[in-house]
């Protein structure tokens, strides 16, 4: 029955991950299906469907990594550096080891070499931030392990440090990296910036600052490791089970086949759970040494010092306008990456969002003695969009033009100004039209509007969004049919809380012709077929096409079987609502298999490469309406209208939820979230959810969600693109622009706390 499909060929493909474009080799393994066209009559895809795991979650049945309790399991806790920079000269664990219940202590003098993010060890000789890992204890209980940490005696040689971004840039700061504290990162130049500035009508320059944002995943980072002989099983709260497997392979020099990584349900990652952590390695090492499963999960305070963050940035933007258009933008950025070896480039939107002829963008990585950055939902783009979109509004003010009208001049281009290639689909202008109508943009007045009470000012603001989201191969899925007509989708992806299980069930059900309730989705296991990281907004666009092909394969095999069993011509049969339908009537799938016992239909599908001549991007625009109290500094965001162009919407319910979550997280970044570090001691002062202010439900404004919802049929066979990151990108900038519109005063430093608002108003008057 198999055709010639088995033949595999190698092609080049363009993939994009978190703003970085890569030319990669890809295998074409299956013949791809035609994308469902615009207007296709689909019964399940495109319709709201509640999360398939919703009931398990709200009733507490869903098992998270934190819930994993294995027989005989031990607990590990980590000793962290109290100094922002110091050399570990000696570690004496003897008193800790003497505490009843303590099983072992790991530190830099007794731990085998374990490659970790470019270093050879998980316990550095030079600890480089308050919270850096110094040692770990395994004990019978978490409390005993915790108590033992205080008994480990460490001899530190304290070294000079710097924690603040702007101090680290200063020549007077201690040099904490042998190559200096400031490192050149990405640089992009096009057109003639100098000439454009010289001949401009208006030039506006501003320095913008954003603060360090902490992920604060509800489920903190953690892992449970267990060995069975030489086979390692790790339960990890992760966005990439295969990435964790790769990390363990590198750290412990184990064959991939000896490692299995599991992640059933997961309490948020936002980019910070892309691979192993030191806690994973610690759990695995202890488990091997002690012959028992070991659990190592971070507490909230550790989470907020050592589990990653969005870099604080300093950004200088100079922007030129002439004849009602933007002619040039120069954008320099410096990001506090802590100890990270990469930087989340904030200049991405400046380079690619608008079709502006002359651009000079230059990003810098600044190292400090603070916890390292980790990817955080549109890393770089959130920070950069704030600076860029603020500067464009300032230019519009300077030119005396409407800021949306100014953007429209640069939003229509069909060619990506960076790669010079054509977009597969771009509906940014549609986003403007929908959003402007919904918010009532025509009411916007320069200098703002009168508020609802004396002392209150009202303002409107908007900002645009650019992100990738086209997805990437490789990704593989199988769909097998049970004899009762139910199906199981198996794929090595993970649901990080976005609704992945649900959209996969929908795509499978749609293609296979069965009900969503009859599809079970098995994910979060490296013993399944490979799927990429759930990050970079690439999940849906990467894996739904593979699942669709697997379901299609299963359906075609089912038709073959049914044609034989029912003795009907194959072409006269179709699968619909769990039954084989022909002119002769309906036969449930279970009936077809009645006499076939346990013969099983197994469909397989793989993600085809991306088109090599098109650029896949997502676009959007947010509009915010705010009221600001000039006398108390309170910013009230009344409404955010979020419009996105992300191809086909597979599930409007989970899609809306993604947008709401992105807007809320952006509002935290815009208004209240800020890691505060004490400079002399290097200690993070905002370690708890009391002092680190994430928005509460009462802080959430009305969020109006709209989608252009036109499938990107050139992108993949589902026509969907990613939506994880787009909704966090423009919201803070839109709010900042609305606040500036309301007050007539521009605050160039996020978050817009009462302090910043009142100080800015005092300085302006």
- List residues near other proteins by CB under 8 A: 82, 143, 146, 631-634, 671-672, 676-681, 683, 685-686, 690-691, 693, 695-696, 698-699, 753-755, 758-759, 762
Among residues 117, 99, 106, 98, which one has the least CA distance to residue 76? Answer: 106
- DSSP secondary structure, 518-530, as one string: GEEEE-SBTTS-B
Q: State the nearest-atom distance from the C-beta of 159 to other proteins, in Å.
A: 18
Report the residue number, 130 or 601, with the smaller CB distance to other proteins. 130
CB of 102 to other proteins, least distance (A): 15
Residue 677 beta carbon to other proteins: minimum distance, rounded to whole angstroms: 8
- 211 versus 464: smaller Cβ distance to other proteins: 211
Say how many CA atoms lie within 13 Å of 757 toward its Cβ: 25
Nearest in space to 372 (alpha carbons), one of 352, 412, 344, 407 = 344
Collapsing DSSP to helix, strand or coil, 97 comes out as helix
Which residues are within 8 A (CB) of 193 and not within 5 positions of it... i.e. 6 or more apart? 328, 329, 330, 358, 359, 360
Q: Name which of 208 and 692 has its Cβ closer to other proteins.
A: 692
For other proteins, which is the closer residue by CB, 256 or 685? 685
Tell the smallest beta-carbon distance from residue 352 to other proteins (Å).
34
Q: Which two tokens stand for residue 287?
A: 């488990």
**Measured between alpha carbons, how far is 595 from 708 in angstroms, rounded to an integer?**
48
Determine the number of helices (DSSP H) and then strands (DSSP E) in the chain. 18, 31
> On the CB side of 642, how many CA atoms lie within 13 Å of its CA?
31
Residue 147 CB, nearest approach to other proteins (Å): 8
Q: Which is nearer to other proteins, 518 or 673 (CB)?
A: 673
Classify residue 257 by burial, with Cβ atoms within 10 Å: 0-12, 13-18, 19+: exposed
Instruction: Give 25: exposed, middle or buried? Use CB within 10 Å, 0-12, 13-18, 19+.
Output: exposed
Q: Which is nearer to other proteins, 149 or 241 (CB)?
A: 149
Instruction: Quote the CA–CA distance of 733 and 315 in Å, as a whole number.
Output: 14
- Residue whose CB is less far from other proteins, 159 or 758: 758
Length reported for the chain: 765
**Smaller CB separation from other proteins, 66 or 422:** 66
CB of 702 to other proteins, least distance (A): 14
b/e for 312-325, b at 16 or more Cβ within 10 A?
Answer: bbbbbbbbbbbeee
111 contact partners, CB below 8 Å, separation of at least 6: 121, 122, 123, 285
User: At its nearest, how many Å lie between other proteins and the CB of residue 764?
Assistant: 13
Pair 721, 540: CB distance under 8 Å? yes
Residue number, 135 or 292, with CB nearest to other proteins: 135
State the minimum distance, in angstroms, from the CB of residue 337 to other proteins.
21
Q: Minimum Å distance from CB 751 to other proteins?
A: 9
* Cβ nearer to other proteins, comparing 198 with 685: 685
Shortest distance, position 137 Cβ to other proteins, whole Å: 16
Q: Which helix (H) or strand (E) holds 331?
A: strand 325-338
Query: From the CB of 312, what's the least distance to other proteins, in Å?
Result: 14
∠ CA 316-364-187, nearest 5°, is 85
Alpha carbon dihedral 375, 380, 383, 386, in 10-degree steps, equals -140
Beta pairing class for 259-262 and 231-236: parallel
User: Cβ closer to other proteins: 155 or 201?
Assistant: 155
CB of 235 to other proteins, least distance (A): 26
Of 299 and 560, nearer to other proteins (C-beta) is: 299
CB of 80 to other proteins, least distance (A): 11
Closer residue to other proteins, CB minimum distance, 77 or 721: 77
Mention every residue, 6+ apart, whose C-beta is less than 8 A from residue 750. 209, 210, 211, 386, 669, 670, 732, 736
Listed residue (440, 340, 356) closest to 391, CA to CA: 356
Contacts of 60 (CB under 8 A, 6+ apart): none
Q: HEC profile for 121-133? A: CCCCCEECCCCCE
């Amino acid at each position: 029955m198999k055709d010639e499909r088995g033949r595999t060929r190698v092609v080049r493909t363009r993939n994009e991950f978190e703003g970085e474009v890569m030319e990669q080799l890809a295998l074409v393994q299956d013949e791809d299906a035609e994308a469902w066209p615009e207007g296709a009559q689909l019964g399940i895809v495109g319709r709201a469907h509640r999360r398939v795991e919703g009931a398990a979650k709200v009733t507490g049945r869903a098992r998270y990594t934190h819930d994993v309790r294995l027989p005989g399991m031990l607990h590990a806790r980590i000793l962290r550096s109290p100094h922002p920079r110091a050399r570990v000269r000696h570690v004496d664990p003897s008193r800790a080891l003497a505490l009843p219940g303590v099983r072992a202590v790991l530190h830099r003098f007794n731990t085998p070499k374990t490659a970790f993010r470019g270093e050879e060890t998980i316990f550095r000789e030079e600890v480089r931030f308050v919270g850096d890992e110094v040692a770990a204890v395994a004990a019978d209980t978490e409390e005993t392990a915790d108590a033992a940490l205080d008994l480990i005696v460490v001899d530190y040689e304290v070294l000079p440090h710097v924690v603040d971004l702007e101090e680290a840039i200063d020549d007077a700061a201690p040099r904490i990296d042998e190559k200096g504290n400031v490192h050149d990162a990405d640089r992009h130049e096009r057109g003639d910036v100098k000439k454009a500035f010289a001949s401009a009508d208006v030039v506006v320059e501003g320095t913008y600052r954003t603060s360090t944002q902490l992920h604060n995943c509800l489920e903190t980072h953690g892992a449970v490791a267990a060995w069975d002989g030489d086979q390692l099983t790790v339960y990890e709260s992760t966005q990439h089970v295969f990435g964790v497997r790769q990390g363990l392979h590198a750290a412990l020099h184990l064959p991939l086949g000896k490692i299995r990584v599991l992640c059933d349900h997961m309490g948020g990652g936002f980019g910070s759970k892309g691979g192993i952590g030191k806690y994973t390695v610690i759990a695995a090492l202890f488990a091997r040494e002690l012959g028992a499963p070991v659990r190592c999960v971070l507490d909230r305070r550790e989470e907020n010092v050592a589990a990653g963050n969005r870099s604080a940035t300093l950004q200088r933007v100079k922007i030129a306008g002439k004849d009602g258009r933007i002619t040039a933008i120069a954008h320099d950025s410096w990001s506090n990456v802590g100890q990270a070896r990469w930087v989340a480039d904030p200049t991405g939107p400046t380079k690619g969002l608008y079709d502006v002829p002359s651009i000079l963008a230059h990003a810098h990585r600044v190292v400090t003695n603070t916890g390292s950055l980790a990817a955080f939902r549109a890393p770089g783009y959130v920070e950069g969009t704030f600076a860029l979109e603020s500067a464009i509004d300032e230019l519009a003010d300077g030119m005396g033009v409407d800021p949306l009208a100014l953007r429209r001049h640069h939003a229509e281009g069909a060619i990506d100004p960076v790669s010079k290639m054509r977009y597969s689909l771009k509906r940014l202008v549609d986003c403007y039209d929908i959003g402007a109508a919904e918010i009532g943009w025509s009411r916007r007045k320069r200098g703002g509007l009168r508020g609802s009470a004396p002392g209150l000012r009202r303002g409107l603001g908007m900002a645009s969004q650019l992100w990738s989201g086209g997805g990437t191969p490789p990704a593989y899925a199988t769909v097998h049919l049970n004899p009762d007509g139910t199906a199981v989708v198996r794929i090595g992806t993970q649901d990080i809380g976005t609704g992945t299980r649900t959209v996969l069930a929908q795509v499978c059900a749609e293609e296979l012709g069965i009900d969503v309730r009859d599809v079970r989705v098995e994910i979060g296991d490296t013993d399944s077929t490979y799927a990429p990281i759930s990050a970079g907004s690439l999940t849906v666009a990467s894996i739904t096409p593979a699942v669709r092909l697997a379901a299609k394969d299963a359906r075609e095999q089912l038709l073959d079987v049914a044609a034989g069993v029912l003795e009907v011509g194959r072409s006269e049969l179709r699968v619909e609502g769990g039954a084989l339908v022909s002119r002769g009537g309906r036969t449930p799938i279970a009936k077809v298999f009645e006499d076939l016992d346990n013969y099983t239909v197994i469909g397989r599908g793989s993600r085809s490469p991306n088109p090599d001549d098109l650029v896949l991007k997502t676009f959007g625009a947010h509009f915010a309406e705010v009221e600001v109290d000039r006398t108390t500094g309170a910013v009230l965001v009344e409404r955010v209208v979020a419009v996105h162009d992300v191809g086909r919407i597979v599930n409007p319910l989970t899609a809306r939820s993604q947008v709401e979550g992105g807007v809320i997280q952006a509002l935290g970044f815009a208004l209240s979230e800020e890691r505060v570090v004490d400079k002399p001691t290097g200690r993070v002062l905002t370690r708890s959810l009391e002092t680190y202010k994430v928005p509460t439900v009462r802080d959430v404004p009305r969020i109006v969600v709209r989608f252009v919802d036109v499938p990107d049929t050139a992108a993949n066979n589902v026509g969907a693109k990613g939506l994880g990151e787009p909704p966090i990108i423009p919201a803070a900038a839109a709010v900042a622009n609305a606040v500036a519109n309301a007050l007539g005063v521009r605050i160039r430093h996020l978050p817009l706390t009462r302090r910043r608002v009142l100080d800015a108003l005092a300085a302006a008057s």
